Structure 1
Amino acid sequence: MLRVLTLSTLFPDAARPNFGIFVQRQTQGLAASPGVDLRVIAPVGLPPFPLDRLAHYRERAGLPAAELWQGLEVRRPRFTVVPGTGGRFHAGALVRRLTPLLNELRTRFPFDVIDAEFFFPDGPAAVALGRRLGVPVSIKARGADIHHWGHAGATAAQVIDAGRRADGLLAVSDALRADMAALGIPAEKIAVHRTGIDRTRFHPRPRAAEKARLGVQGPLVLSVGALIPRKGHDVVIDAVARLPGITLLIAGDGPERSALAARIAAAGITDRARLLGAVPHDDLPALFAAADVMALASSSEGLANAWVEALASGTPIVITPAGGAAETVNRAAAGRIADRTPEAFASAIAEILLAPPDPIEVAAAAQRFSWEANAAQLRDHLTGLVAARAGVG
């Protein structure tokens, strides 16, 4: 029996049901694997002062300390985060909070390995806890955790040190593995562990019918991602403004919502561009299948799940050369890789709309992504770390 403690600050909850949904899906797959027993620690960071000062923390404060979430036993301990410190003290605070909790948990669940599912602050905390408890540690890199925290002055040294001290490392793409190595993290310790896709949900559907349900006529461009500058929704808005007769739907929520709404108004496309807000993950398959193109102008990515979900739905993508873009758009039917400018995105979108690829050929580009393969690789990876620590094999 492989007993796994999954540690992830990137995990869904009642306040943020779409937050880290891919971590949840991966963890469910691992937990269902033969010979695996698993518990989840999903820490919730809260500031040390009254929450009415920062409204977005209020709902998180009311989350249960422990619950059964989508079939997984999840604990949600609170730890202190101090806004304005650049994350410098996050990992230390997490270690202090989790040390007594994990000491107590081990008396009932003697876990063999810690599986950290985000590089910061999870990774440095997991390494420190693993050393104290005498268990191996794996850390998975997903994109922003390396591209932001791995370069920020307050946290870069912590990220690099954790990468060097962890027993094993995972990255969502070959490109992210190279980015980690460029920081000085040993490349030989990093395995590429791609995301999965549920093809019973994400698959081609009759596009015209799905558009009709949305009240859309004519070409439809979809952008999916948090409303933050890194995702580049402003670039896509400006691109669609250059393409008359095309509808744009943006699924996601975040601090840039007002700015993006103003940009849509300034571009004069309020009649054909809509901000949908946060869309439940269960509603995304129909949305992807309705679109003629999914466009995401990210400044950085590891390998975005939205890319793979769109492709599996038969929808070609237009994306920047960020992260694992070239590993994903590996055939003409999959879409285009474009510079992060409105002109380049408009040109790429127009090119696809002029000669739409067969949705079945598009979906074939996502064939190598599956949750079954994802779970099997993760189980083997963690089993290997436990065996290596025990001196077996």
Structure 2
Amino acid sequence: MKLLTFSTLYPSAVMPSHGIFVETRLRHLVASGQVQSRVVAPVPWFPFKGDRFGEYGKFAATPAREHRHGLEITHPRFLRLPKVGMSSAPYTLAWTFLREARRLQREGGDFDLIDAHYFYPDGVAAVMVARALNKPVVITARGTDINLIPQYDFPRKLILQAAQRANAQITVCAALKDELVALGADASKVQVLRNGVDLTLFHPGGREEARQSLGLAAGRFTLASVGHLIERKGHELVIGALAELPEVDLLIAGAGPEEGALRRLAATLGVQARVRFLGAVPQARLREVYVGCDALVLASSREGWANVLLEAMACGTPVAASNVWGTPEVVATHDAGELMPARTATGVAEAVRRLRAAPRDRAATRRYAEQFSWDATTQGQLDLFHRVLAARGKPELRHA
């Protein structure tokens, strides 16, 4: 089976953590030996490179082509227009994707199916291209593309059209499927395939070494808050909780526009000596953070299926998480951790107190995570793609 994977959420040499969850799922799918894929991962056009231009400077520095983990990736440029970007992006993205797909076809890289990730604008653009090329398309919904963007009328209209025209959709949790169906999608065309976790990369070994490497004080209970430093991730609530948790320290792993505000908040609350900003941490080094800390805190306002939760659990570390969207599907047992009673600083503090009052067996937390390997998700994709292709008149793939 030959796929063309399409998403603006995909890592590159310049932004190695950007959309890594898309790459990880695809790597496991290709590792099955039943699928080949090329990746088209467009980036917004921008004329200037350099850190002073922030994310757009990184987009400008992204190579046009690269190979990652045995996969060929192209990064064609598309226009993201100021002020009207939300409305125009599906169309500029579709034009770029169609040109790139046709180029690949001319060079002998034809494909059976478009595997698109993130509903808006990516999935909407992918449906336009699929119709132009007479190819089937499957769209994966991942979070804010369904639980946030449809609040806007025009994107909601295009998302629903794409859902109706796509051959099938995948959601990473049941809560997103419910929301997609509530928008008007056909439930029979939506399949839940949750993300997995790399149980080899994320494991509990070397806890004392990790704590020493991180410089964690003996006997101090340490939390970790991992994710982009943006409002939606709720790092400010975790900092706020420290005012109610005087014997607790905090590591924050991530970079983003809210860093200055978060540092000021810590100073205002008088907890800055107990908060350490680690900056952006590569996924391979995140294991050290998960293993070394006593609990991971995720205070997000919106999540599809938060990978950091399973990564921490695979390292034997329980979690305290906000009770939103797909998170209760991840934090589903006592061994996994605690759901916050409220998404507030006090709610964070209460969940942490519960973890401290009833310490989790780290081996049991690891065993819980072990049920979330990628195998079931990979098989689910293979079965779905085969059904789509068989329905399109390729019966030889039904039993492939």
TM-score range, shorter chain: over 0.9
Aligned to 2:72: 73
* 2:142 aligned partner: 142
Pick from 381, 386, 390 the counterpart of residue 387 of structure 1: 390
Q: Which of 349, 352, 368 pairs up with 2:371?
A: 368
Q: Does 1:199 align with 2:199?
A: yes
How many pairs were matched up?
Answer: 391
| Aligned partners of 2:48 and 2:60 also within 8 Å | no
Kindly indicate whether the alpha-carbon contact (under 8 Å) linking 2:199 and 2:370 is maintained by their aligned counterparts in 1.
Answer: no
Give the match's secondary structure for 2:296: strand
SS class of match (1:221): strand
Check conservation: 1:220, 1:248, Cα contact below 8 A: yes
Cα pair 2:49 2:61 within 8 Å, conserved:
no
Mapped to 1, the partners of 2:63 and 2:347 lie a distance apart of: 47
Q: Which amino acid aligns with 2:255?
A: D
Query: Residue 30 of structure 2 corresponds to which residue in structure 1?
Result: 31
Residue type of the alignment partner of 1:211: R
Query: What is residue 151 of structure 1 aligned with on the other side?
Result: 151
Question: Counterparts in 2 of 1:1-393, with a 5 A limit?
Answer: 2-46=1-45, 54-107=53-106, 108-217=108-217, 218-338=220-340, 339-390=342-393, 392=395
* Paired AA for residue 240 in structure 1: L
Q: Which runs of 4+ in 1 moved over 4 A?
A: 49-55
Question: Which sits farther off after the overlay, 214-223 or 143-152?
Answer: 143-152
- Cα distance change of structure 1 residues 154 and 287 upon mapping to structure 2, 3 Å threshold: same
* Residues 86 and 155 in structure 1, CA contact (< 8 A), matched pair in contact too: no
Q: Higher RCO, 1 or 2 (CA under 8 Å, sep at least 6)?
A: 1
Counterpart CA distance in 1 for 2:203 and 2:37 is 30
**SS state at 1:98 partner:** helix
CA apart distance, 1:173: 0.6
% same residue: 39
Is the Cα contact below 8 Å between 1:137 and 1:167 reproduced in 2? Answer: yes
Superposed displacement of residue 159, structure 1: 1.3
Q: Which residue identity is paired with 1:41?
A: V
Q: 1:170-209, CA deviations, whole angstroms, 9 ceiling, x for partnerless residues?
A: 0011111111111111122111111111111212235343
Q: Secondary structure at the match of 1:367?
A: helix
Instruction: Indicate conservation of the 8 Å contact 2:118/2:145, yes or no.
Output: yes
Any idea what SS the aligned residue of 1:139 has? strand
Gaps of 5+ in 2: none
CA distance in 2, matches of 1:363, 1:3: 35
SS class of match (1:40): strand
Deviation string, structure 1 residues 243-299 (Cα, Å, up to 9, x no partner): 012110111111111111111111111111011111011101121111111111111
| Paired residues of 2:65 and 2:73 also in contact (CA < 8 A) | yes
Question: Per the alignment, in what secondary structure is the counterpart of residue 272 of structure 2?
Answer: coil
SS in 2 for 1:360: helix
In structure 2, the residue corresponding to 1:276 is in which secondary structure? strand
Q: Cα offset for 1:83? A: 2.7
Contact 2:232 2:301 in 1 (8 A): yes
TM-aligned CA distance change 1:109 to 1:262, over 3 Å:
same
8 Å CA contact 1:149–1:159 kept in 2: the answer is: no
TM-score normalised to the size of structure 2?
A: 0.94
TM-score, structure 1 normalization: 0.95
Is the CA contact 2:115–2:139 (under 8 Å) kept in the aligned structure 1?
yes
Shift of 1:15: 2.3
Determine the C-alpha separation between the residues in 2 that align with 1:355 and 1:97.
54
Note the C-alpha offset of 1:300. Answer: 0.8
1:391/1:198 Cα in 2 relative to 1: closer, same or farther (>3 Å)? closer
CA distance in 1, matches of 2:394, 2:282: 45
- Matched residue type, 2:264: A
Q: Which one-letter code corresponds to 2:326 in the other structure? A: G
- 2:20 corresponds to which letter in structure 1? I
**Cα 1:207/1:54, change in 2 over 3 Å:** closer
Letter in 2 for 1:295: V
Give the superposed CA RMSD: 1.7
Structure 2 Cα separation of the partners of residues 282 and 209 of structure 1:
16
CA distance in 2, matches of 1:170, 1:329: 21
Q: 3-state SS of the aligned residue for 2:184?
A: coil
Higher mean alpha-carbon deviation, 169-178 vs 380-389, is at 380-389
How big is the shift at 1:364?
2.2
